[in-house]
Homo-oligomer: A and B are copies of this chain.
Amino acid sequence: MTGALSQEELEQYRSQGYLLRNSVFAPEEVDSLVAAAEALYRVDSPARTVERDGVTVRAVHACHTSSDVFAAVIKDPRMLLPAHQIVGTDSVYIHQSKINAKRALEGDVWQWHQDFTYWHWEDGMRAPNAVNLAILLDAATEFNGPLLLVPGSHRQGLMDPARRDSGAGPESWKNHLAADLEYTVQVKDLAELSEESGIFSATAPAGSVLLFDPQIVHGSGVNMSPIDRRMAIFSYNEVANLPVPPGDGRPKFLSSREAAPLELAAWTG
């Protein structure tokens, strides 16, 4: 079944912590995903976050639970087979999904961070037996805030984050979604990690898929271009690795409680 990673791709993923596959989805399929994303951006919901200006949509979470299109694309072999291969089992589900909007001129940064910091400490996920698959809904260029990654940084495991103390409070999870992230990578760690490996800029055509490790250090700058840079990210987790949240845990749209294994089903847009 088409979609599976070659041995070489899998090795690159293991060694670098990411893999960029160009033009996995056809233009018509991308159009269909974009239309579904824009429909979700219009819906007022706690799962929708805005930029610092209080108006511009920043992201919508849990799109795989609120849209038929995204519910279908996550089962497509081009998504699910690589997830199976990387996690090492056919028994995976979506821990979190989101569609970042990165609007033209308004789309703000995602500071450098490791996803697993949040999944481990906030959600109670034990091991990083998970993988992110991001579908580029627009071409990513050097001008529109492409995802940046530090190659090999996933091998460091979780680092001590720089912590912006935003207080505990019942809604402290809001600081995991804003331009001022609660846990970020310290500048000295970024300097050390990137000194040899440099930084990889995931620029690619729309429809490309970026796979990246839950522990890889990544972030993105602002969108200085006149065109939106939208991206849908799906975090596949091993069913046996379902988090046990401390206390009530974060809202379901950030940390799924449903761990039914996904069944393969081809999607054609």
Q: Which residues of A contact B (CB under 8 A)?
A: 104-105, 109, 111-112, 142-143, 145, 148, 187-188, 190-191, 194, 199, 201, 219-222, 224-227
CB neighbours of A187 from chain B (8 A):
104-105, 226
Additional A-B contact list (7), CB under 8 Å, known A188-B226, A194-B226, A221-B221: A105-B111, A143-B148, A143-B201, A187-B226, A199-B224, A220-B224, A221-B222
Number of copies of chain A assembled together: 2
Q: Of all chain B residues, which has the CB nearest A226?
A: B191
Q: With the chains together, A104 CA to B224 CA distance in Å?
A: 18
Cβ–Cβ contact A222 & B148, under 8 A: no
Knowing A105-B190, A227-B191, say if A199 contacts B111 (CB, 8 Å): no
Q: Cβ of A224 and Cβ of B105 under 8 Å apart?
A: no
**A188 contact set on B, CB distance < 8 A:** 226
Between A105, A111, A188, A225, the greatest number of chain B beta carbons within 10 A of the residue's beta carbon is seen for A105
CB A140 to nearest CB in B, in angstroms, measures 12
Checking B112, B143, B224 against A224 with a beta-carbon cut-off of 8 angstroms, the contacting residue is B112
**Beta-carbon contact of B224 and A148 below 8 Å:** yes
Instruction: Tell me how far the C-beta of A119 lies from the nearest C-beta in chain B, rounded to whole angstroms.
Output: 23
Shortest Cβ gap from A223 to chain B (Å): 8
- Residues of B close to A225: CB separation below 8 A: 194, 199
The answer to whether B224 touches A221, judged by C-beta atoms less than 8 angstroms apart, is yes
CA distance A104 to B104 in the complex (A): 23
Q: Are B194 and A224 in contact (CB under 8 A)?
A: no
Query: Which B residues touch A105, using CB under 8 A?
Result: 111-112, 187, 190
| Cα of A145 to Cα of B221 in the assembled complex, Å | 9
Q: Are A142 and B224 in contact (CB under 8 A)?
A: no
